[in-house]
Chains A and B, each alone.
Chain A
Amino acid sequence: MLSLNLIVRAIVFHEGKFLVTVLDDGERAPFYAFLGGHLRAGETLLECARREVQEEAGLEVLPGKLLYVVENFFFRGAAKLHEIGYYFLCQPARPVSGSLLDVLSPNLDDLISPELLTPHALGEANFQPALLKQTLCEDARESFASCPRAVVINELPGDVEALGGVYPL
């Protein structure tokens, strides 16, 4: 039996760098991921993206283009999850002078530790979901012109027939 996980992630791509955070879920080695989290009752996908970045990094953003819909079938502890993630390209709502990191107010309670990574650095990093990493770096070079894309990750081949991969959407 799978459980549904609906998440929204903000891809803040500012001056050629991705805003990411280090996450440590205690089960895997610490990894990089985009800011974001679970969709709450009563909010739209765009509102969720805006709220999550505000809560986690103290940054007001304007969510824009839908870049990826990531469907991920995986284990977490004893649970089997079907996670659908909506990844939006986001821009700071106000002009930023200097480094983006200087205007952030990371939520230390959530252990948010923001970093800025170039596409090349992100390609070398332990980023999750890993399957997204390669297409993300290529898409960034093309200003995400080929997006949106569907990304399917299937770590439950015994339960789910979905073929992992990156598909046009």
Chain B
Amino acid sequence: MISLQLSVHAVLLVDGQLVLRRPDGDLAPGVCCGDSIGLGETLPAALARILKAQLGQSCEAVKLLYVVERFLPRGGAKVHELAHYYLCERRDDDGAPLPDGMVLVNPAKVKPTQIDPAVLSEVLPADAADDFQVSPKLLVVNELPEESQAISGVYRL
């Protein structure tokens, strides 16, 4: 049995650098800010609330970039993670420093070892070069081939 997890995440750029969190320590890949959503709020509203909590800054989701579908084992369970990645802009762009635990990486040069899920490193460099003026993409990662027939890959939406 696969359980479904919905989440929202931010592709947030500060001075052209992608903001990543390091919830699993400095040696682990970073993750885009975001989290699982609660019911009763829209996806962009959930992301704005989560970013306020994680960054202490008001941000707005301006464009859907990626829907990442991952089928993966997690903590003994089998999960279908449906993650929505939005290009975000800071509304309080007053140069306030980012909280501890955040790192900045160049989205044009991000490596698979720097970001989780690693599949983001396949699309971020080219999309950053296009200033993210791109159509949304579906990124599929299937680590449960016995449970799902989904074919891993990058698909244009």
A: which residues have CB within 8 A of B?
Answer: 2-4, 6, 39, 41-47, 64-66, 69, 71, 73, 82, 84, 88, 148, 150, 152, 159-162, 167-169
Given A148-B157, A160-B41, A162-B45, the answer on whether A44 and B64 have CB atoms closer than 8 Å is no
B77 at the interface (CB under 8 A from A): no
B: which residues have CB within 8 A of A?
Answer: 1-4, 6, 39-45, 63-64, 67, 69, 71, 80, 82, 135-136, 138, 140, 144, 147-150, 155-157
Tell me, in angstroms, the Cα distance from A42 to B72 when the chains sit together.
10
Asked whether, in the complex, the Cβ of B1 is within 8 Å of the Cβ of A82, the reply is no
Can you sample 5 A-B contacts with CB below 8 Å?
A42-B71, A42-B80, A43-B150, A84-B6, A160-B41
How many A-B contacts if CB must be within 8 Å?
79
Given A82-B40, A162-B42, the answer on whether A46 and B155 have CB atoms closer than 8 Å is yes
Asked whether, in the complex, the Cβ of B138 is within 8 Å of the Cβ of A41, the reply is no
A169 CB contacts on chain B under 8 angstroms: 63-64, 136
Asked whether, in the complex, the Cβ of A71 is within 8 Å of the Cβ of B42, the reply is yes
Asked whether, in the complex, the Cβ of A43 is within 8 Å of the Cβ of B148, the reply is yes
Tell me, in angstroms, the Cα distance from A69 to B84 when the chains sit together.
11
B144 CB contacts on chain A under 8 angstroms: 42
| Given contact pairs A42-B71, A65-B157, A169-B136, a sample of 16 additional A-B residue pairs in the complex whose CB atoms are under 8 Å apart | A3-B39, A39-B4, A41-B147, A42-B147, A43-B149, A44-B69, A44-B138, A45-B82, A46-B155, A69-B43, A71-B42, A150-B42, A152-B42, A160-B40, A162-B41, A168-B63
Q: Which of B6, B42, B63, B155 has the most CB of A within 10 A?
A: B42
Residue of B nearest to A82 (CB): B39
Asked whether, in the complex, the Cβ of A2 is within 8 Å of the Cβ of B67, the reply is no
Partner of B4, one of A41, A46, A71: A41
Asked whether, in the complex, the Cβ of A69 is within 8 Å of the Cβ of B138, the reply is no
B156 CB contacts on chain A under 8 angstroms: 65
Asked whether, in the complex, the Cβ of A65 is within 8 Å of the Cβ of B40, the reply is no
Residue of A nearest to B147 (CB): A42
Residue of B nearest to A89 (CB): B157
